[in-house]
Amino acid sequence: MAEPTPALPDRLIAHLDMDAFYASVELLRYPELKGLPVVVGGRRAHAPQLRPDGTREFFKLADYTGRGVVTTSTYAARAFGVFSAMGLMKAALLAPQAILLPADFDAYRHYSRLFKDAVRELAPVIEDRGIDEIYIDLTDVPGARDPVGHDPLGGARALAREIKNSVWRATGLTCSIGVTPNKLLSKIGSELEKPDGLTVLTMDDLPTRIWPLPVRRINGIGPKAGAKLDSLDIHTIGDLAAAPPALLAQHFGPGYSLWLHEAALGQDDRPVVTYSEPVSISRETTFERDLHAKRDRPELSRIFTALCEQLASDLQRKGYQGRTIGIKLRFEGFRTVTRDLTLELPVQDAAAIRRAAGLCLKRVDLSQRLRLLGVRVGKLSRPGDVDSTRRSRSAANAAPNGPKPENLRLFS
Ligand code: DCP
Ligand code: MG
């Protein structure tokens, strides 16, 4: 009698996430920084200067003053405790010798496209999850379900290794991949052996690899739910799997509690969605110092206009227009306020966005000083075809200041 072969899961889903993405792209340009603590998050003024002898002088984190935050850091910087979203001045205390670099989003978008194209050549069913991560459905990729020797997942493992090599050849960058029966577990899996990791898990690995992890590792358990679970003495995913469903239902409501329970058991049947439209596109900025709506009006107005212009160029580059224009304000003391309004017709140009966002601004009490301003465009659509693009362009030309206020419909 032949030995029973362990059953292959119905699906083989991969999650791929680039390692220290922005920082790694910077290292391609400045290879002399390899292995050093490097932080991305500065402004243009922090760009390296070329010395007469051709070498570069980099900006040391110790010399930073201001209120910027770490966008990302190399693993060498993370060893000092410097992570995304930390204030740069706090980071400077932990790693004063670290090099600070400004972000260059055009470069990151370029490498994002390169790595996704490289993966697509090997495995076409890809869900784009942002600049540095994708889900890949490997189920129907030839060879993915072939055993290698006694390893039923050998084919999947080999394919994932091939994807990593291909990303490296296309970009010079490393990534980490998790391969499991579903998106939920793969997202957790890709983090387990970062950087340059490859983690292949089956349901049998749940108790040893997943259950010991903190509940927050589940994508969908945010800070609020995490704190609530902590207060219920549910700390690990295993604790969550063992929690009485009635207790969860009592604290989280029927829908979310059911999802929590299933997530802890590693169940997730969401498909890999090959095409999805972004919900909204936004730009925001934290000021160097708090600004007051009246006293700092010219500066605020300049920043506001610049944000709207950047947003309009984002929309145009990505080929979107939007009907809902929103603003986000953060006041001293961190209170955050948003307002939006929905226009009758979608817009794409800076003047129209500025005008609508200006109306939103009028609905906020601006007596407190501001530390952050953001502008968002939602209810996105694509300007139908070439003709409709042309029509909307010529309409914009006819009325260079965008739609007249009476054409704006307010929904509060
Ligand atoms: N990013 C950001 N703001 C954050 C976190 C991240 O702008 N609070 C940006 C910078 C990152 C990129 O998004 O380079 C990808 O985010 P990740 O969470 O995947 O972080 P990294 O790729 O930098 O590191 P890791 O190796 O942990 O994936
Ligand atoms: Mg990443």
pLDDT tens over the chain, length 412 residues: 555 556 688 999 999 999 999 999 999 999 999 999 999 998 999 999 999 999 999 999 999 999 999 999 999 999 999 999 999 999 999 999 999 999 999 999 999 999 999 999 999 999 999 999 999 999 999 999 999 999 999 999 999 999 999 999 999 999 999 999 999 999 999 999 999 999 999 999 999 999 999 999 999 999 999 999 999 999 999 999 999 999 999 999 999 999 999 999 999 999 999 976 778 999 999 898 999 999 999 999 999 999 999 999 999 999 999 999 999 999 988 899 999 999 999 999 999 999 999 999 999 999 999 999 999 999 999 987 333 333 333 333 333 333 333 323 222 2
User: Is 17 part of any known ligand binding site?
Assistant: yes
Measured in angstroms, how far is the CA atom of residue 21 from the centroid of ligand 1?
A: 6
Residue 78: inside a domain: yes
Question: Order of strands, edge to edge, in the sheet holding 336-347?
Answer: 280-291, 370-381, 321-331, 336-347
Alpha carbon nearest to ligand 1 atom 5, residue: 84
Give the predicted TM-score (pTM) of the model: 0.76
Residue 38: inside a domain: yes
Alpha carbon nearest to ligand 1 atom 2, residue: 71
Residue 274: inside a domain: no
* 132 and 247, same domain (yes or no): no
User: Is 230 part of any known ligand binding site?
Assistant: no
* 129 and 159, same domain (yes or no): yes
Residue 349: inside a domain: yes
* 98 and 115, same domain (yes or no): no
Q: CA-CA distance, 31 to 51, in Å (whole number)?
A: 17
- Continuous H helices in 265-385: 297-318, 350-361
Q: CA-CA distance, 206 to 364, in Å (whole number)?
A: 49
**φ/ψ (deg, to 5) at 330:** -120, 130
The enclosing domain of 73 has a CATH number of 3.40.1170.60
Residue 167: inside a domain: yes
Minimal CA–CA distance to 286: which of 326, 329, 350? 329
Q: Which of 103, 118, 148 is the last residue of a domain?
A: 103
* 73 and 125, same domain (yes or no): no
Full residue range of the structural domain in which residue 125 is found? 13-18+107-207
Question: Crossing angle of helices 223-231/245-252, nearest 10°?
Answer: 130
* 256 and 326, same domain (yes or no): no
* 70 and 133, same domain (yes or no): no
Domain count, the chain: 4
Q: Which of 55, 76, 103 is the last residue of a domain?
A: 103
Q: Which atom of ligand 1 is nearest to the CA of 133?
A: 19
Residue 215: inside a domain: no
Pocket test for ligand 1, best of 25, 72, 192, 282 (most atoms within 8 A of CB): 72
* 386 and 290, same domain (yes or no): yes
Residue 237: inside a domain: yes
Q: Rg (Cα) of the chain, in Å, rounded?
A: 24
293 contacts: CB under 8 Å, gap ≥ 6: 300, 366, 367, 370
Tell me if 112 CB under 6 Å of ligand 1: no
* 26 and 88, same domain (yes or no): yes
Residue 269: inside a domain: no
Tell me if 22 CB under 6 Å of ligand 1: yes
Tell me if 26 CB under 6 Å of ligand 1: no
